[in-house]
């Protein structure tokens, strides 16, 4: 029996141990998904804190309930470990490590390289290796394959290699690992068949493409599409503001068209581990081929300027009551990059906080999911959202529209609210509300000044 035939049979019987490398926002859902489907799962992570948390039956990821981890660990289906020497025990190894940008904006594939080298040290014949980390087209074939083949084993013959991009949307209650279609592209027909077979045992829908490069580019296209269209929405918001028009009314009206229009929202900037990052991977790759990705660069430029636009809106709102940003007491609502998650990676709220501090403001924040943050060597703790906290603030900024925040309370007790997320809507209260674009909505406090440190 060939290695391919043997592994395929073991996969279909759910006897193949699956190793997941990286137990973060992507890797932990993958590990728990395979464990709950009946596969024995080894979870590898360099963090002892993460591994100890999972071994104790707890979860460090909001999207994965602790009882799911406890069930998988308690039944012996999921074993987290920092011992990468055990990689040889797995029939399939799925790499789910971060791919951030370097300080110069180039792809940082150091986590992929490090993980691939660890796999190479313990690679054996008959194993299937799948990269899920989002990266530029060519990474699997040009970087991962030659590194693994330094072991003396040949891809497609002795071991099998594929790329299948992660599609994790933290905080999404509808789309999760099992029901989100999974793109798979194998290096060879045998590699492809085995990777498809593995995912098909766990996921509802597997989308097959012809190569790892096609799968890599498909993932980049998904997030570039969103980045470019969000950039367009952000520019439309700036245009609407110059024209004195409510951008949200415009978007609502345009969205009534039953064809040819897809709704995208403007906001204070892009955040997270995908949309602000992934298009830069493609732009970098194309520079090596002497091609400039103009749409990507322009969208990135527009999106990157949105935190400054929000700070300008704050300045405008304070000027209207004869106050400066310097010395004002400001309260930011939300540090996470998107609603209802605890992830602050690339969050525009951090950029807004930094800009306001540079202007001399006294800034505090409240976030029901983020207890503390570190910025420029300083640590900030989330404050309780009390009536007094809202009333003492010269101005409140809705940086993240968490559902758990009581916005009725906010407009009742705050004097001024800058709302780039459109979280306040048409609520009425004391606050004068400045939307992302368009004229402010005067509240009951309009024209009576503001309280707080340095107030009139």
Tell me which residues are annotated as active site: 274
- For 357, the token pair is 């501090």
Q: Where are the alpha helices (DSSP H) in 56-188?
A: 66-74, 110-122, 139, 145-149
Q: Give the integer Cα–Cα distance in Å for 356 and 415.
A: 18
Q: Give the integer Cα–Cα distance in Å for 28 and 43.
A: 8
Q: Where are the alpha helices (DSSP H) in 244-360?
A: 247-254, 278-287, 294-304, 306-319, 348-358
Distance set, CA 197 to CA 87, 102, 274 (Å): 21, 35, 27
Q: Give the integer Cα–Cα distance in Å for 263 and 419.
A: 19
Nearest to 94 by CA among 164, 181, 176: 164
Burial code of 430-444, b = ≥16 C-beta within 10 A, e = fewer?
bbbbbbbbbebbebe
The number of angstroms, rounded, from the C-alpha of 329 to the middle of its chain's C-alpha atoms is: 30
Nearest to 422 by CA among 276, 263, 266, 250: 266
Q: Count the helices and strands in the chain (H runs, E runs).
A: 16, 15
CA torsion sign for 436, 437, 443, 449 is positive
């Amino acid at each position: 029996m060939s290695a391919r035939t043997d592994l395929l049979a073991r996969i279909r019987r759910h006897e193949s141990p699956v190793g997941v490398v990286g137990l973060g926002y992507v890797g932990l859902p993958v590990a728990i998904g395979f464990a709950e489907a009946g596969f024995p799962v080894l979870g590898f992570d360099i963090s002892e804190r993460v591994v100890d948390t999972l071994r104790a039956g707890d979860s460090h990821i909001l999207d994965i309930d602790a009882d799911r981890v406890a069930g998988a660990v308690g039944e012996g289906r999921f074993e987290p470990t920092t011992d990468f020497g055990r990689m040889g025990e797995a029939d399939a190894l799925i790499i789910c490590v971060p791919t951030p940008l370097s300080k110069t904006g180039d792809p940082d594939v150091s986590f992929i390289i490090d993980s691939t080298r660890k796999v190479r040290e313990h690679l054996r014949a008959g194993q299937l290796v799948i990269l899920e980390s989002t990266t530029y087209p060519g990474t699997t074939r040009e970087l991962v394959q030659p590194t693994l083949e330094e072991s003396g084993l040949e891809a497609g013959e002795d071991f099998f290699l594929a790329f299948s991009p992660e599609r994790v949307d933290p905080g999404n209650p509808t789309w999760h690992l099992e029901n989100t279609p999974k793109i798979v592209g194998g290096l060879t027909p045998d590699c492809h068949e085995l990777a498809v077979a593995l995912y098909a045992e766990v996921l509802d829908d597997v989308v097959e493409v012809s190569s790892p490069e096609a799968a890599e580019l498909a993932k980049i296209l998904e997030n570039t599409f969103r980045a470019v269209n969000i950039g367009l929405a952000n520019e439309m918001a700036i245009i609407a503001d110059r024209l004195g028009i409510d951008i949200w009314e415009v978007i609502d009206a345009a969205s009534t068209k039953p064809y040819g229009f897809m709704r995208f929202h403007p906001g204070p900037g892009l955040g997270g581990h995908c949309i602000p990052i992934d298009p830069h991977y493609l732009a970098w790759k194309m520079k090596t081929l002497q091609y400039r990705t103009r749409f990507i660069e322009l969208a990135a430029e527009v999106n990157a300027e949105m935190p400054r636009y929000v700070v300008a809106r704050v300045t405008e709102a304070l000027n209207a009551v004869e106050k400066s940003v310097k010395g004002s007491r400001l309260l930011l609502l939300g540090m996470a990059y998107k609603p209802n998650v605890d992830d602050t990676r690339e969050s525009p709220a951090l950029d807004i906080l930094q800009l306001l501090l540079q202007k001399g403001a006294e800034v505090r924040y409240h976030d029901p999911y983020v207890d503390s943050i570190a910025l420029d060597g300083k640590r900030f703790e989330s404050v309780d959202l009390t009536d007094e906290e809202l009333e003492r603030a010269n101005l409140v900024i809705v940086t993240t529209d968490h559902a758990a925040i009581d916005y009725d309370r906010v407009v009742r007790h705050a004097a001024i609210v800058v709302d780039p997320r459109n979280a306040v809507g048409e609520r009425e209260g004391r606050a004068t509300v400045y939307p992302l674009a368009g004229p402010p909505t005067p509240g009951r406090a309009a024209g009576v000044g503001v309280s707080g440190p340095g107030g009139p």
